[in-house]
Amino acid sequence: MERDYDIIVAGGGLSGLVAATTAAHVAKQKLRILVIDRNPSDDQGKKTVSGWVCGDAVGAHGPDYFKKFTGIKYGKPEIEHFVKGVIAYSPDREASLKFTEDGYILNRRLMPQRMKNDAEKLGVEFVNEALLQRVLADNGMVYGVEGTKDGKPFRKTAKVVIDATGQASVLRVNLPIKSYIEKTIDRNDLETTGRYIMEFEHAKEDITFFDPNYCVIHLDNILAPGGYAWVFPKGPNKVNIGLGVNKTCHDERNRKLGKNQDLKGLIDEYVKLNPVLKNTRPSQDPNDKGNSYGTWQVSVRRQNDCLAANGYMIIGDAAWMAKPLDAGGMGPAFFSGTIAGKRAAEAVEANDSSEKFLWKYAHDFMLERGLNTPGMEIFRRMLQKIDNSQLNYGTRHFLSKMDMDKITRGEHPDFSSLDKIEMMIRGALNMKLAKEMKYTASKNKSLSTLFKSYPDTPDKFPAWHSLVMKEMQEAFKRYPF
């Protein structure tokens, strides 16, 4: 059957633009590639009505990976500010963990404009203001997308569809063909997050609350129950400040404290508590128009265990790729977009968009990035169960420099210093915490070993997946919601 396009990318946010650009580059611009997004062109990549909601921070490794394949390098103004890493503070701020890695603080409104421009230069076409509702499928094979545009039915066909429509993807939820892709996510694997982009004056200097060179994270299960709060510098007098919570932990925290604080109430209190920020106001920069306050949900589980079906691949947030510990999803969006874009181009070239052919994307992503996320998902669940005093103790005593280097690379810490420390642990609760940390480290080992043998063909998936689920279910029983 004739198709309108070779590749359709549904969703023109970060991961979709990376995929379309990579495919165009790899295929030397010979393919017809279409990106479809519900936003007008000026609002490319806008996630929700409340804006391009994000902490805006990304480690250099994600964009660097994309650059390796396309030669595209970002700079100002889409990168607003450069940082040297992240510092996480314990609830009492007596202990800190420094994760050193060059990072960029993006302007998420300008970034998609730059990326769209790059894609168009490579011949990628765009349809904006089209709201997609489902994929088209026949004979167990996806062959296009449909929805509405200007109030009329809208329909386009392609050899490969890449779904980059974000964590709430209706294309994934409504996928009509047989596939191993999970369609829906557990409520407790989502964080409700929100943030301001603010200008401010300095009331005083205190790098535990604002550091122009580091992204500051506050671990605190009262302030940000089941999540964390952040102050990311966007300039000497500009900040991205916000927090994320797990709904169950949030409800429980309110019940315990006899409070009824919603997410916005928590964020406003967090801004007020910051002793550095004075005369705060929503950013007046025209480049932040429509983006100075917003909330959205981000997934914090391992990525979908399956990423490809006949004629269809999921990438970025549509595949729940934000990392379980810090909800960083832009790095995985760069990796998955690049790998999937490359595979889509190869599929068109080989005239084969079967699940079996596209599977290599899933396999390569798992080995490149995905293998550490299941262990991190369990580690996240364990952390959501502990209180501030244990967080204080754990932050101060349990992590070595080696563990931090591992976390920076998205890997699970070994807690190798725990054996030495255990002798001096004070209190039964800290002993229990040490035991739990060891448990998560050992679970991580078995899970990352399993993910290292991610099936190279779809027929091997069910047997492999039942082993994964056995490991995961055992841990979920230990850390239930």
Ligand X SMILES: Cc1cc2nc3c(=O)[nH]c(=O)nc-3n(C[C@H](O)[C@H](O)[C@H](O)COP(=O)(O)OP(=O)(O)OC[C@H]3O[C@@H](n4cnc5c(N)ncnc54)[C@H](O)[C@@H]3O)c2cc1C
* Contacting positions for ligand X (CB under 6 A): 11-16, 36-39, 45-47, 53-58, 131-132, 164-166, 170, 193-195, 242, 296, 298, 316-317, 322, 327-331, 333
- d(Cα 306, Cα 179) in Å, to the nearest integer? 8
- Could you tell me the smallest distance in angstroms from the CB atom of residue 445 to ligand X? 26
- Could you tell me the smallest distance in angstroms from the CB atom of residue 336 to ligand X? 8
Q: Give the nearer residue to ligand X in terms of CB position, either 243 or 418.
A: 243
- d(Cα 303, Cα 15) in Å, to the nearest integer? 14
Residue 26, phi-psi category: left (phi > 0), alpha (psi -120 to 50), beta (remainder): alpha
Q: Give the nearer residue to ligand X in terms of CB position, either 238 or 397.
A: 238
Q: Give the nearer residue to ligand X in terms of CB position, either 215 or 434.
A: 215
Q: Give the nearer residue to ligand X in terms of CB position, either 328 or 375.
A: 328
- d(Cα 86, Cα 96) in Å, to the nearest integer? 10
The CB-based long-range contact list for 91-95 (8 Å cut-off, 24+ gap) reads 91/218, 91/219, 91/220, 91/221, 91/222, 91/223, 91/388, 91/391, 91/392, 92/388, 92/392, 93/208, 93/218, 94/392, 94/396, 95/392, 95/395, 95/396
- Could you tell me the smallest distance in angstroms from the CB atom of residue 232 to ligand X? 7
Tokens of 374: 């299941």
Q: Give the nearer residue to ligand X in terms of CB position, either 169 or 392.
A: 169
- Could you tell me the smallest distance in angstroms from the CB atom of residue 12 to ligand X? 5
- Could you tell me the smallest distance in angstroms from the CB atom of residue 265 to ligand X? 16
Q: Give the nearer residue to ligand X in terms of CB position, either 144 or 166.
A: 166
Task: Please name which of 368, 356, 376, 307 lies closest in space to residue 332, comparing C-alpha atoms.
Answer: 368
Tokens of 236: 């000497």
107 with 80: CB under 8 angstroms? Answer: yes
Q: Give the nearer residue to ligand X in terms of CB position, either 189 or 436.
A: 189
320 with 166: CB under 8 angstroms? Answer: no
Task: Name the closest residue to ligand X (Cβ).
Answer: 329
- Could you tell me the smallest distance in angstroms from the CB atom of residue 350 to ligand X? 26
Phi, psi for 82 (deg, rounded to 5): -110, 140
Tokens of 113: 């404009």
Q: Give the nearer residue to ligand X in terms of CB position, either 191 or 305.
A: 191
- C-alpha count within 13 angstroms, C-beta hemisphere, residue 201: 3
Q: Where are the alpha helices (DSSP H) in 258-329?
A: 263-273
- Could you tell me the smallest distance in angstroms from the CB atom of residue 133 to ligand X? 7
- Could you tell me the smallest distance in angstroms from the CB atom of residue 191 to ligand X? 8
